[in-house]
Amino acid sequence: MSRKLRVVIAKPGLDGHDRGAKVIARALRDAGMEVIYTGLRQTPEQIVSAALQEDADVIGLSILSGAHNHIAPRLMALLREKGLDDVLVVIGGIIPDVDIPKLKELGVSGIFLPGTPMQEIIDFINANARERTGPPGASEPAVTTARKGVPGR
Amino acid sequence: MKAAVESEEQRWERETLGPATRQSPERAASFTTISGRPIDRLYTPLDLAGLDPARDVGEPGAYPYTRGIHPTGYRGKLWTMRQFAGFGAPEDTNARYKRLLGAGGTGLSVAFDLPTLMGRDPDHELSLGEVGKCGVNVTSLADMEALFDGIALGDISTSMTINSPAAMIFAMYLVVAERQGASWATLSGTIQNDILKEFIAQKEYIYPPRPSMRIITDIFAFCAKEVPRWNTISVSGYHIREAGSTALQELAFTLRDGIEYVQWGVDAGLEVDEFVPRISFFFNAHSDFFEEIAKYRAARRLWARSMRERFGAKSERAWKLRFHSQTAGVSLTAQQPYNNVVRTALQALSAVLGGTNSLHTNSLDEALALPTAEAATLALRTQQIIAHESGVANAVDPLGGSYFVERLTKDMEDEALAYFEQIDRLGGMVDAIEQGFPQREIAESAYRFQQAVERKEKVIVGVNDFVQRDDPPIAILYIDDSTAEKQLRKAEALRKARDNDRVARALDALRSAARGTANVMPPILEAVRAYATLGEMCDALRDVWGEYEEVPSI
C-alpha cells in the first residue's frame, strides 16, 4: 500500500519572496502530499537536515535570486553524503537557460520556470518520486512547518 | 430626476438590452477584476448614490485630493520618470545611472543586492552566490562613493530601496553628499525605510518589529531637523501586491501601515504637521486598468481624511498623499517576452491616469533576469510616449466623474476602511503582523489567483492561452561571480587600511544608543565615516536587539 509522498519545500539564500513557495506548498498539499515548509533563509545544511528528519521523498527549492549555482551543488553533495541520493530534487524559480544543463548534471531532476502550471509540477513529482510503502492511512495530508530543520515547532 | 433616470434605465433594459442579450448572450455569467471584484455591466448616475461630489470628489489640489494633489495635474510638471536600477559592483551601476540620466531620466532609484538589503557583508555565509545579483552591492562608504562618482547629489533626487539597513545606507549617502560639498538641507530623495511591509510581504527584515519601528521614528526625528526635504519613508504597497494581494488589500494594508507609522511618530513625541509631510507612498501599477485608477484615487482620499480626522493634522502638506508607482513585476511573463512591453505600457497609463507623482516602468526581460541596458531604455521610452504623444497629460484627472471610476473609488475606500477597523481591533498593524493577519490574507489571495489561472478563469496571454511553441529566446543580462570576488577583495583591503580602533569605538557607541533611547543616526554617521562595513553596523544592532524569525506558515 503506497503512503503519501512527503515533500520539503524550502527557500534557500537571502531572498524573502515566498509567494511561489507558499502557493506550490498548498497546491501539493491539496494534491494529497504531505508538505513541510521550512520557511525562509535556509542553508543547504538546514534543508538536508529537515529532509532527513522528515523522511522526505522530495525536496522543492524556490530560488529567484540567481544563487542556484552555489546552492544546488552544496545541497546535492550533502544529500549524497547523508545517503539521501534517492530524494527527488526539484527547483522552481528564475533560472537562466544556460544554467539548466549544469543543474541537471548535478542531479536536479525538475526545473520549473515562471508560468509553469501547478498541475505539471504535481504530475512530475508523482511520476518521479521514489515509491513509498507503509501502513494504509499512515498519514493524512497535512502541512507542518519546520524551523532550522527541527520539525513541528 | 432620480426616478426619471430609473425608469429610463428600466426602459433601456427592457427594450434594448433584453433583445440584445437574447440574440447574443454575454461572454460570461459574471465579470470580475483581476482581484476578483465583481464588475457590473453598466454604471449610471444611480451608481453615484451616497457620493457627494463636493465632499468626496472635490477639486484637484484641494482636500480630499481625490482628483490629485496638484491643481494643474501634469500641465505644470510631468511625473518624475524614475527607473530603478542596480546590479554588480558600484562601478557597474554608476555607468548605468549615467546612461539613464543621459537618456532623459529625471531621477535615480537604487536597487541593492540581497546581502546589502539584509545587512550582510559579502564574506558572510548567507551571501554566498548573492553578491551583486539582484542589485548593486554596497559594503561600506567606499562603495557609496563609487556608486555616485561624477553624479552631483545636490542636483538630482535619489530614491533608495533599502529597509532594515536604511539608516546605515542613508548615512552613507549623507556623507557622500557632504564630501561633494552639497548641503544636507538641499538634498532631495527617498529612502524606502518601510519595515512593516517587509514583515507582511517582502520579508527582508533583520530586527524584531518594535526595535525596527524605533529606528524609523529616529530617522523621522533626525530628518525633520537635518535633512528637511528628504522623504523619510516610502510606505509601500508594491511588494504586498507582488506577494499576491488583491488591489484592495494593497490599498488597505499600505494605508494602514502609513497610519501605524504616524501613530508611532506621535507616540515618540513628534509633531504630525512636521513629520507627516515627508511620508510618501509607493504603489503597484497592476493590470486591471480601472481598478488600479480607482485604487490611487481612493488612496489619496483615505490618507487626507485619516490625517485630518484621525490625527488632527492641520497642514495641507500632511493631508496630501504623494506616491511613486511601478508596473507589476509579477505580471511579466517569461513566455513571449515582447508582450511585456504592452502590459507595461497599459499599467503605466493607469498610474498616470491615477495621478502618480513618479513612475518606474519594468523592462520586457524582467521575468528572466535583471534588465539589459536596451530593455531598460525601451521601458523609459514607454513613459515618454505616454507623456508626450498620447495626450493623456493634458487634462487633470480625465476620468473624474466617470460613473464607473467614481463608484469603484468609493467602494475601495469603504472596503479599505473596513480593513482599518479590523486591524485596529487587533491592536494596530504591528500587532496584526505579529498575529500573522495580513500575511494570511495575502497568501489566501495568491493561492486563489493561481487556481483561477489554472482553471483559465483568468487568462494570461502566452501562458495559459495563446501559447506559442516556437518562442525564440531573447538576450538577457547574465551576472557572473566576478562581482562577489571583487567586493570580497575590496572589503578585505578596507579592513586593513582603516583605523580599526575608531571603528570599534563607533560600533560601541551605536550599541549603547540602541540600548538606551538616544537617536541612532549620529552614531551610525560616525561609524560610516570610520568606514565600518554595513554588516558590522547591522551586527552591532543585532547584538542588542536580536534577529526576527517568522513562524513559517502556508
Q: pLDDT by residue (tens digit) across B143-161?
A: 999 999 999 999 989 999 9
Cα(B364)–Cα(B379) distance, integer angstroms: 8
CB contacts of A97 in chain B (<8 Å) are 473
Whether A68 contacts A15, CB under 8 Å = no
Please tell me the predicted confidence (pLDDT) of residue A148.
39
Q: Could A98 and B118 be called an inter-chain contact, meaning their C-beta atoms sit closer than 8 Å?
A: no
Packing angle between helix B289-305 and helix B403-425, nearest 10 degrees?
Answer: 50
Distance, in Å, from the CA atom of B542 to the CA atom of A28, rounded to the nearest integer, reads: 36
Share of chain B above pLDDT 90, in %: 90
- Look at A71 and B134 and tell me if their CB atoms are within 8 Å: no
Task: Yes or no: say if B104 and B80 are a contact pair by the CB < 8 Å rule.
Answer: no
Residues from chain B that touch A113, judged by Cβ atoms under 8 A, are 334
Grid coordinates belonging to B163: 529597509
Query: Which whole number is the average pLDDT over B171-199?
Result: 97
Which residues, in sequence order, are bridge partners of residue A8?
A36, A59
Q: Cell numbers at residue B100, please?
A: 539613464
Q: Does B242 touch chain A (CB under 8 A)?
A: yes
Tracing cell 534543508 back to the chain, one arrives at A47
- Kindly compute the dihedral angle of the four CA atoms of residues A143, B444, B422, B37, in this order, to the nearest 10 degrees: -160
Smallest Cβ–Cβ distance between B130 and the set A14, A18, A35 belongs to: A14
Q: Does A32 touch chain B (CB under 8 A)?
A: no
| pLDDT, greater one: B211 or A66 | B211
Per-residue confidence (pLDDT) for residue B451, from 0 to 100: 96
Q: How many CB atoms lie within 10 A of CB B388?
A: 10
DSSP B318-362: HHPPPEEEEE-GGG--SSSTTHHHHHHHHHHHHHHHTT-SEEE--
Burial class (CB in 10 A: 0-12, 13-18, 19+), A143: middle
Sketch out chain B's domains with CATH numbers: 75-454 (3.20.20.240)
At B554, is the pLDDT very low, low, confident or very high (cuts 50, 70, 90)?
confident
Residue B335 has pLDDT above 60, yes or no: yes
Verify whether the Cβ–Cβ distance B333 to A113 is below 8 Å: no
Please indicate whether residue A131 or residue B493 has the higher confidence score (pLDDT).
B493
Q: How far is B295 from chain A (nearest CA, A)?
A: 22
Pairing of the two strands B31-32 and B38-39? antiparallel
Task: Look at residue B215 in the predicted model and tell me its pLDDT.
Answer: 97
pTM summary value: 0.94
Q: Do residues B161 and B133 lie in contact, with contact meaning Cβ atoms separated by under 8 Å?
A: no
pLDDT at residue B83, rounded to an integer: 85
| Rounded Cα distance, A120 and A100, in Å | 18
- 3 state SS of B218: helix
Q: Is the peptide bond before B64 cis (omega within 30 degrees of 0)?
A: yes
Assess B474–A contact: CB distance below 8 Å, yes or no: no
Task: Give percent above pLDDT 90 in chain A.
Answer: 78
Per-residue pLDDT, averaged over B241-261, amounts to 98
Q: Quick check: B202 and B161 in contact, CB under 8 A?
A: no
Other Cβ atoms less than 10 A from the Cβ of B425: the count is 10
pLDDT at A78: 97
Residues of chain B contacting residue A40, judged by C-beta atoms under 8 Å apart: 203, 550, 552
User: What is the separation of C-alpha B386 from the centre of its chain, rounded to a whole number of angstroms?
Assistant: 21
Q: Which residue of B has its CA nearest to A42?
A: B126
Give the minimum alpha-carbon distance from A144 to chain B in angstroms, rounded to a whole number.
8
Cell of B335: 513566455
**CA A145 from chain center: how many Å?**
13
Question: Looking at the complex, does the CB of residue B134 fall below 8 Å from at least one CB of chain A?
Answer: yes
Sheet of strand A58-63, all strands in order from the earlier edge strand to the far edge: A110-112, A88-93, A58-63, A6-10, A34-37, A143-147, A150-151
- Contact with chain A for residue B464, Cβ under 8 A: yes
Backbone angles phi, psi at A3, to 5 degrees: -95, 170
Residue A64 CA to residue A12 CA, distance in Å, equals 10
Residue numbers in chain A where pLDDT is lower than 70: 1-2, 132-153
CB B118 within 8 A of CB A15: no
Cell numbers given for B109: 532609484
**What is the number of other CB atoms lying within 10 angstroms of the CB of residue A136?**
7
Cα separation, B222 vs B514, in Å, equals 15
Kindly state the helix (H) or strand (E) to which residue A150 belongs, with its residue range.
strand A150-151
pLDDT tens per residue across span A28-57 = 999 999 999 999 999 999 999 999 999 999
For residue B335, the chain A residues in CB contact (below 8 A) are 115
Cell numbers representing residue A52 in the block? 532527513
- Alpha-carbon distance of B492 to B311, in angstroms, equals 49
How far apart, in Å, do the first and last CA atoms of chain A sit? 30
* Cα–Cα nearest to A64, from A8, A28, A12: A12
Out of A18, A23, A43, name the one closest to residue B125 (CB).
A43
Chain B residue nearest residue A10, CA to CA: B552
| pLDDT tens digits, one per residue of B7-36 | 888 999 999 999 999 999 999 999 999 999
Residue partners of B250: CB distance under 8 A and separation at least 6: B237, B240, B241, B283, B284, B295
pLDDT tens for residues B400-426? Answer: 999 999 999 999 999 999 999 999 999
Query: What cell numbers appear for B475 in the block?
Result: 538576450
CB-nearest partner of A147 from B127, B205, B552? B552
Contact indicator for B118, B202 with CB cutoff of 8 Å? no
The dihedral sign for the CA sequence B232, B234, B239, B245: positive
Residue B339 pairs in a beta bridge with: none
pLDDT > 70 in chain B, percent: 100
For B206, the grid coordinates are 533583520
* Smallest Cα distance from B283 to chain A, Å: 17
CA distance B365 to chain A (A): 11
Q: How far apart are CA A37 and CA B101, in angstroms?
A: 44
How far is the C-alpha of B361 from the C-alpha of B343, rounded, in Å? 10
Tens of pLDDT, residues B518-549: 999 999 999 999 999 999 999 999 999 999 99
Question: B504: part of which helix (H) or strand (E)?
Answer: helix B500-515
Check residue A137 and give its pLDDT: 43
Distance CA B245, CA A37 (A): 21
CA distance B386 to B328: 17
Report pLDDT for A134: 53
Mean pLDDT of chain B: 95
Sequential DSSP letters for B356-384: -SEEE---TTTTTSSPPHHHHHHHHHHHH
The dihedral built from the CA positions of residue B251, B252, B255 and B261, taken in this order, carries a sign that is negative
Size of interface A-B (CB pairs under 8 A): 116
Q: Which of B294, B382, B376 is nearest to B342 (CA)?
A: B382
Identify from B87, B125, B128 which residue to disrupt to test chain A contact, counting A C-beta atoms within 10 A and taking the largest count: B128
The reply to whether CATH 3.40.250.10 applies to domain A6-151 is no
Cβ atoms of B240 and B200 closer than 8 Å: yes
What is the band of B392 on the pLDDT scale with cuts at 50, 70, 90? very high
Does the pLDDT of residue B487 top 50, yes or no? yes
Task: Give the pLDDT mean for B453-481.
Answer: 92
Single-letter code of the amino acid located at B282: F
